[in-house]
Amino acid sequence: MDVLTLSRIQFGLTIGFHYLYPPLSIGLGVMLVIMEGLWLKTKNPLYHQMARFWTKAFALTFAIGVATGIVMEFEFGTNWATYSRFVGDVFGSALAAEGIFAFFLESGFLAVLLFGWDKVSRKVHFFSTCMVCLGAHFSAVWIVVANSWMQTPAGYHIVTHDGVARAEITNFWAMVFNPSSMDRLFHVLCGAWQTGAFLVVSVSAWYVLKKRHLDFARASLRVGLTVGLIASLLQLVSGDSSAREVAKYQPAKLAAFEGLYHTTNDAPLTLVGYVDEKDQKVVGLQWPGLLSFLVAHNTQATVTGLDAFAPDDRPPVEASFVFFHGMVGVGFTMIAIAMLGCFYSWRKVLFEKRWLLWILVFSVLGPQIANQLGWFAAEVGRQPWIVYGLMRTPEGLSKILTANVVLTSLILFTFIYFLLFSVFIYLLNDKIQHGPDEQDLIPSGKLTLPDELTRHEKS
Amino acid sequence: MNLDLNTIWFALVGVLFTGYAILDGFDLGIGALHLFTKDDTERRILINSIGPVWDGNEVWLVTGGGALFAAFPNVYATAFSGFYLALILLLVALIFRAVAIEFRSKRPEHWWRQMWDVSFSVGSVLSALLIGVALGNIACGVPVDANGEFAGTFLGLLKPYPLLVGITTVSLFMMHGAIYGVMKTEGGLHDKLRVWAMRCIIFFVICAVTLTMATLLYVPQMAARVKEYPWLFSIALANMLSIANIPREFHHKRDGFAFLSSCGAMLTLMALFAVDAYPYLIYSQPNPENSLTIYNAASSQKTLGIMLVIACIGIPVVLTYTVCIYWIFRGKVKMDRMSY
């Protein structure tokens, strides 16, 4: 294989693996803020126990997220040096802002969140939890801004120095609020909230099924399902708005998502099916006019097909189609699961529906799969461009690499990530089997409130 | 020298990497010393002495890298693609070290803890060594072609002078970490660390003297500016005084001051490095005309200006809460059930 293919595989592998963790940090961060907030408000020690338990899972995901995240920052320079020279002026400021505003905030207050339970007051601890959560969200903001600039560049001009062209900023805010950044940020955040919520749901449902830690599990399940349902519904709104944005600014990508080869009005939406690349058509169950309706709120609206683009400018259709439809399918499944769960929970019969609890146990996979497929769709759909319309992916490669060197690093990363993933699953399972600590039902040290002391003395 | 945006960013990138050296330096040093004790509890105390802060310390590297990317994208691109294998090794070392801290105490089995202890220690030493070797190469210059691309090889980076800088960095971090450990521990481990710290100080002083002589003899361009502007010799003097002050304070058991002197030594070393390197970021050897400077490798003035605003808003806030967090975790390590 050549340097290009190996570098693409390596970037795909390292970003795909890395992206298992940040959504968990963001989503669990929100869950921790809610749990600790409920504890401060209701003074029910069950919420304290919940926050303590999930803090440990948070620490585990955070450590791997940080370790695999540095790889991403380095790889722009190691494998995609020409791209880095081209975008540095634009992309770099977003990355620097991410470091200064997000990473410091996140990792600084993480110290208090993890190790400060007995050292600071409840309010200071809660504040720290909020800051960690905020930092995690900020980190998503800047990296999504940078990636969105690669999808829909704005606020720049091309300048040539010594015969080498590069993009330079003309308007910082136009770069930050480029046409796709806010839609995509919201989409990414909804996905992250779902990821955190359904992890809590899954573990709690499993405890209920195994009749362990029942008070803890039932309360956690309710909190998780509520957040999960809200996030899943918001994701629907966000997906709809994202699709319209893609149709407007990256029509080739939308056409590839739907396998739409010919520009047409009354464009159909494929519910299930596959792309027949040879005959340039989609085989499957289609809803006529729905794509036109989603894109322009009018079933007769014209949707641009792939025929409007030179064959060299088209993304891989089959892959884009599969990733995109996979993501949408999982998204709708999550809404259905969350609605069923909330409905039965509201009717107070959820804990008797064992079949649904089993589905909830496996629901943790849904958002993770959708996150991965969504990013595959977004990045594959941008091809053949690394920066849409400005630079093709092969042009972004480092000029001095040899295939052997990249193959070495690829094998190394594959091995290490396989090891990390195994250990992560093993330790997470260990944590789940161990369950919440009973002693966390009695907050200690500075966390104790006077009335709790007396209550425990009475009991 | 003009105080333009390029120079300010040269200084700011320097500040970030100096912050990284001072803060993560003691983490890496603790890691390098980790295997010297065989006792499980003592190893746990060592890890927990850096437990709450190592994450934040590593962010200085991430942000330094980000700032380099943003301010001098051509340097970032040339150095990172040129030092490919060295950086991949650094990444592997940093990954193992980071997850080892988190994983190590999660299981009681001896083989498990031993495995992660070795990862933590080897990862720490390797990180320090590679950072030093990279710095050494920047100091003595690397081959760069007319297009600004690195024209050397991986083995070409492992010349004696950069390796000496690498070993000096390891000794510096070990000394720094040992003094930090003395401040954070009590009892038997504290006494052990006191002995190690003294040895590390001796190790470092030997390395530092050798490195200074090697620099004057073999890398004369790294001393040219001090010769040109004799007042800059005050930085070198401050550096020597800081280093000499470490064993003095340490001998009088004023560990806090010994640690501050160690920070001072790092600060002045980096400052010396910076004034001599300026305005070069990657000095091209043997073709100096291909060198990357703070002017030919920089982002546009507009970007440098925007980022200066970001830095002026962000850095004071970061420093404020970093100080608060260090204050919350001041004093000797106390193990509790949230500890690693």
For every one of its 340 residues, what pLDDT tens digit does chain B have, with 9 covering 90 and above?
Answer: 678 889 999 999 999 999 999 999 999 999 999 999 888 888 998 998 998 888 888 888 888 888 898 899 999 999 999 889 989 999 999 999 989 998 888 888 889 999 999 999 999 999 999 999 998 998 888 888 888 888 888 888 888 999 999 999 999 999 999 999 999 998 888 999 999 999 999 999 999 999 989 988 888 878 888 888 888 888 889 999 999 999 899 889 898 899 999 999 999 999 988 888 888 888 888 888 888 888 888 888 888 998 899 888 888 888 888 888 888 888 888 877 777 7
Residue numbers in A near B150 (CB within 8 A): 400
Q: What is the DSSP letter of B282?
A: E
Q: Residue A443 falls within a domain, yes or no?
A: no
| A215 and A351, same domain (yes or no) | yes
Q: Residue A455 falls within a domain, yes or no?
A: no
Whether the per-residue pLDDT at A446 is higher than 70: the answer is no
The predicted pLDDT at position A58 comes to: 92
| A165 and A242, same domain (yes or no) | no
- The shortest CB-CB distance from B300 to any of A89, A115, A427 is to A89
pLDDT in tens, B76-128: 999 999 889 989 999 999 999 989 998 888 888 889 999 999 999 999 999 99
Count of the separate structural domains present in chain A: 2
| A304 and A337, same domain (yes or no) | yes
- Predicted confidence band at A10 (pLDDT cuts at 50, 70, 90)? very high
Residue contact A416–B92, C-beta within 8 A = yes
* B82 at A interface, C-beta within 8 A: yes
| A262 and A283, same domain (yes or no) | yes
Q: Residue A388 falls within a domain, yes or no?
A: no
The predicted pLDDT at position A361 comes to: 93
Residue numbers in B near A405 (CB within 8 A): 84-85, 154
Q: Residue A395 falls within a domain, yes or no?
A: no
* B115 at A interface, C-beta within 8 A: no
Q: Residue A176 falls within a domain, yes or no?
A: yes
Q: Rounded mean pLDDT of A31-38?
A: 93
Whether the per-residue pLDDT at A442 is higher than 80: the answer is no
Are the CB atoms for A208 and A214 separated by under 8 Å? Answer: yes
Q: Residue A299 falls within a domain, yes or no?
A: yes
* A350 at B interface, C-beta within 8 A: no
| A198 and A86, same domain (yes or no) | no
Helix (H) or strand (E) holding B69: helix B54-71
**Which residues constitute the domain of residue A430?**
1-180+401-435
Residue contact A399–B81, C-beta within 8 A = yes
Q: Nearest residue on chain A to B72, judged by CA atoms?
A: A88
Q: Residue A446 falls within a domain, yes or no?
A: no
Residues 423-442 of A with CB under 8 A from B: 423, 427, 430, 437
| A365 and A263, same domain (yes or no) | yes
ipTM of the complex: 0.85
The predicted pLDDT at position A282 comes to: 79
Mean pLDDT, all residues of chain A: 88
| A100 and A194, same domain (yes or no) | no
- The shortest CB-CB distance from B314 to any of A100, A166, A399 is to A100
| A144 and A282, same domain (yes or no) | no
- Predicted confidence band at A459 (pLDDT cuts at 50, 70, 90)? very low
| A356 and A426, same domain (yes or no) | no
pLDDT in tens, B5-18: 899 999 999 999 99
| A146 and A226, same domain (yes or no) | no
Whether the per-residue pLDDT at A445 is higher than 80: the answer is no
| A223 and A355, same domain (yes or no) | yes
| A237 and A312, same domain (yes or no) | yes
Residues in Cβ contact with A257 at an 8 Å cutoff, skipping those fewer than 6 apart: A246, A320, A321, A324, A325, A377, A381
